[in-house]
Structure 1
């Protein structure tokens, strides 16, 4: 016998199956139709275009066919359906029963921590690579975007039963390192001391990189010196250069760890660029003879033009592996380290989309399984009034600075509240991170973001803090009820009219499944913002805590269910759920 949990989670599938069976009884086969939630709850809980899709195929009136489908379904539809109506030119609307919604509330409360989990990816091991900062350079908002998206996608697909390996590929060799080391050497007399703060050390590295980057563009002599340094760093034959490099890498890595902790990310594996450079170079050289790569003017290239792509250099004419060769080594090493992974996802800015098409094609020619199992997801850019940020000119907005600025705005909002100072600091950081992450995740992954600082910290409307505030408000309701000794009850009061809150809460698992299938966290953010609006509207209209009201216990059940769904949803976005704001 089907449990309440199974009935609630499968109701959409059951309705769709019932519609298909009705069409079959009408001798109409092979029709593709959708079953979705309507934009407005006044049109029911689900609707289908089955009659319109089928009518087009058999050249009949959609509305007439809808009536026949409904007639076929009346005695054969799932018991959760309370009402079926025909609307417009032939849409069929379904309204669920009050018993279904009562069961859904029980289901949420009995599985509060796991509500929304699924098994669509059960048995799969998926590596997700994201963030990928550069040592000696600031952790900028591009890295912050990759981190927010990668962490959220990791949590969402893990919620669907996948075994997740979080991977980070920090760049610790290359021209940017040489530029920073050059800048370090030119200003060595002002280099930080061992007992200086980590912040001072990281700031010095950032300034050194800017100095070297500018010199590389403006001076031919400096360019030659930096190119020479690049080779020395790669060869590791100069003790002084090695010492500067080791210190800089240590400072950068420690700084990045502080940021990861703030963002709520814990990587399972770090694979550094230096670890795969020689491997990538060796493989590239070996595969010249097998025609995967070819020589061109002393360099080794992949001729992507043969596949409708573009050419990329993998080994330079000076014998140095490019980022492409290193990336090749990296992706082959991933499957050596974890031979049982079923897929590997790489999340970077979408300016690398074409680059990854070439790389994945090269991978597929070397190892078809690895190539077919590797996917790149390109995200948009975060833009401000001044346009796209850049770390080459020093006009860089670091993740640390952005979080700090947003945290100040949050502190201003909660300044007058009776909360201990240390707790205010913790709340303000949590809300600041939530504000930034929500702004990144609220729209499709590939879209650019125009970040508005003041809107991002609004406690009303389309923002992360609004979701967190809604959760804190519900928690306050539950604490007040406990203080007044009013108990929660899942028993539906006599004469109860199903609310929009109940009609929305049960949909959460569907949205998580959709977000997982499409690797798009914005499905979760859209759902949560709608849910928060419905909860706050209900909160404003209803007197939830009233010891003399027989409905109070069930209202508390709804508030508690809202908390469970909101907490799980915020978790999937990598956002904390504060109980005070």
Structure 2
């Protein structure tokens, strides 16, 4: 609908120019917004305000000229009315007939409703999650994964070809700290790799986490240990036989553990990248750009002089001649582009490394301007629990598994009366819905204070509340015996209640909400829309009979509305990575 309105306005401007009411000028970008109040229509444009400054007319007069020149035949097919409102807005009220005809199309479109071809010619790679082997998969990784998957789905929903990438740090100082810790703990506890291999994967991962925490603490407090770890870092990069077996087994244990988490949360990736594989590419790229001044040698290392660009300097090759995280990131950009000739590379991380990525992208723009311009860093906030911020350095890490299990215990109270045969799966679906929605409903960049009890409530702004609303709709349709396929449009649209009108108009704009959420990388817009729709439908459900409506015509109308709400909610939740259970 936005595109249709834009076209109508552009044609109207051209008519006014030809008739002499407006001078010749390039039509400015047309912005279409959704008003906060239905009193101002379904869509609104401030085009007249911008044009009035160009043509030297009063904004209201300008808006009136534009509205009068809009093609009446085309407008009548789309809108019940088009009005001018102070100080110069043009408000569009979509035809109620068009809206209700659209409701029936929603039932036919099913999962396609809300999707568009806006980005049909774009190829986008979304990198997210990025856990590091030898460290536990914590709630921060879960947060990043949830945001990344939602953003990937939104790009797909608007027509882009999307690939998902996961970049994992399997070499570097953190690995050296973990391997050093493993060797120390094995010696202290008289443990060997064979005995560790016999333990459950969870126990091995716990051992790796404790080893990393011990190594990190020793690195900070013990100079001798620090030097040993620095030396070990070089040996790991070179895959020295002395540490090869410990390194490879620990790496495999970590990756196996990560895959278990991905299966549980429904994550998938097209590409897995590792620091060990992109490091040499990044190292060469940095070395090749020293002579041209992009990078500079400094105290035995190689740096990017960020101060020249209003940033800070960072080391890209350390004094041992090894590529740092920064150099590896440059190598990663080249490798990703070789695998998938993208139009945009989106990277999702915590906002703790915003400064890091500002320097990184500045350096990338110098060595590869094209890839630098195509790279987009999206930082999300920090997930905070009542226990405080997680820290794998101190060993006080909150793993994703323990976190999900804790929420599952609470969600289990919602399914206590369910059949035992489906209770476990149902509880898991509700758990993931609760967690994902709680992480996505705030604007990306804001910290999330996770309230466990509110997250599983079916009476508030939560995932289970939306799941329950969708299940309720499906239950009504099932009881009607006509189901979704059997619902027919009413013969007329007279005597609609305020609730029916508002719900139908809200559903109509869902495709625009999806596009806006994709444009702004803002899954919280989908959350807000879904919650608003669920609230409105629940209020309608409580007030008006559906299956026992006063006559067959009203019953059909309300079943149509219920079917459209169910499909729209299901589609919205899908974009958030949330499944809808059969029953609750």
TM-score (norm 1): 0.91
> In structure 2, the residue corresponding to 1:79 is in which secondary structure?
helix
1:58-105 alpha-carbon deviations (Å, 9 max, x no partner): 665555555555555594634221134454555443322221112211
Instruction: For 1:163-562, list aligned pairs within 5 A.
Output: 163-188=161-186, 189-190=190-191, 193-239=196-242, 241-338=243-340, 340-415=341-416, 417=417, 419-482=418-481, 487-493=486-492, 495-497=494-496, 499-546=501-548, 549-550=551-552, 551-562=554-565
- Are 1:102 and 2:104 an aligned pair? no
Name the structure 2 match of 1:5: none
> In structure 2, the residue corresponding to 1:149 is in which secondary structure?
helix
- Structure 2 distance, partners of 1:22, 1:41, is 29
CA contact (8 A) 1:444 1:522 kept: yes
CA contact (8 A) 2:96 2:493 kept: no
| Cα drift, residue 474 of structure 1 | 1.0
Per mean C-alpha deviation after superposition, the further-off stretch among 37-46 and 291-300 is: 37-46
> In structure 1, the residue corresponding to 2:197 is in which secondary structure?
coil
TM-score (norm 2): 0.91
1:180-236 alpha-carbon deviations (Å, 9 max, x no partner): 122212222356533322111111111111111112112122222222222222222
| Cα drift, residue 387 of structure 1 | 4.1
- Structure 1 distance, partners of 2:244, 2:29, is 64
| Cα drift, residue 333 of structure 1 | 1.3
Name the structure 1 match of 2:38: 41
| Cα drift, residue 148 of structure 1 | 0.9
Instruction: For 1:35-184, list aligned pairs within 5 A.
Output: 35-54=32-51, 62-63=59-60, 66=63, 69-73=66-70, 75=72, 77-87=75-85, 89-184=87-182
- Structure 2 distance, partners of 1:42, 1:567, is 28
**Could you list the runs of 5+ residues in structure 1 that have no partner in the other structure?**
1-7
CA contact (8 A) 1:471 1:579 kept: no
CA contact (8 A) 2:144 2:348 kept: yes
- Structure 2 distance, partners of 1:161, 1:335, is 20
Number of aligned residues? 570
| Cα drift, residue 10 of structure 1 | 5.0
| Cα drift, residue 422 of structure 1 | 4.3
Per mean C-alpha deviation after superposition, the further-off stretch among 310-319 and 489-498 is: 489-498
- C-alpha spacing 1:67/1:361, structure 2 compared with 1 (3 Å): closer
| Cα drift, residue 484 of structure 1 | 9.6
- C-alpha spacing 1:68/1:289, structure 2 compared with 1 (3 Å): closer
CA contact (8 A) 2:361 2:372 kept: yes
- Structure 1 distance, partners of 2:448, 2:12, is 41
| Cα drift, residue 562 of structure 1 | 1.4
1:141-197 alpha-carbon deviations (Å, 9 max, x no partner): 221121111111111111111111111111111111121122212222356533322
1:299-347 alpha-carbon deviations (Å, 9 max, x no partner): 1111122222221111111222211111111111112223x22221111
- Structure 1 distance, partners of 2:533, 2:461, is 12
- Structure 2 distance, partners of 1:50, 1:282, is 51
1:540-567 alpha-carbon deviations (Å, 9 max, x no partner): 1221113873122232222111122111
- C-alpha spacing 1:535/1:180, structure 2 compared with 1 (3 Å): same
- Structure 2 distance, partners of 1:460, 1:362, is 49
Name the structure 2 match of 1:570: 573
CA contact (8 A) 2:146 2:439 kept: yes
- C-alpha spacing 1:14/1:98, structure 2 compared with 1 (3 Å): farther
> In structure 1, the residue corresponding to 2:112 is in which secondary structure?
coil
**Could you list the runs of 5+ residues in structure 2 that have no partner in the other structure?**
none
- C-alpha spacing 1:20/1:473, structure 2 compared with 1 (3 Å): farther
- Structure 1 distance, partners of 2:33, 2:579, is 30
| Cα drift, residue 123 of structure 1 | 2.1
- Structure 2 distance, partners of 1:484, 1:514, is 32
- C-alpha spacing 1:108/1:342, structure 2 compared with 1 (3 Å): same
1:472-502 alpha-carbon deviations (Å, 9 max, x no partner): 1111112212289994212344635252111
| Cα drift, residue 573 of structure 1 | 0.9
1:393-449 alpha-carbon deviations (Å, 9 max, x no partner): 11221211211111111112332x2x2234222122222222222122212222221
- Structure 2 distance, partners of 1:313, 1:187, is 32
CA contact (8 A) 2:107 2:485 kept: no
- Structure 2 distance, partners of 1:19, 1:459, is 49
> In structure 2, the residue corresponding to 1:193 is in which secondary structure?
helix
1:234-254 alpha-carbon deviations (Å, 9 max, x no partner): 222234x21111111111111
> In structure 2, the residue corresponding to 1:540 is in which secondary structure?
helix
- Structure 2 distance, partners of 1:67, 1:483, is 48
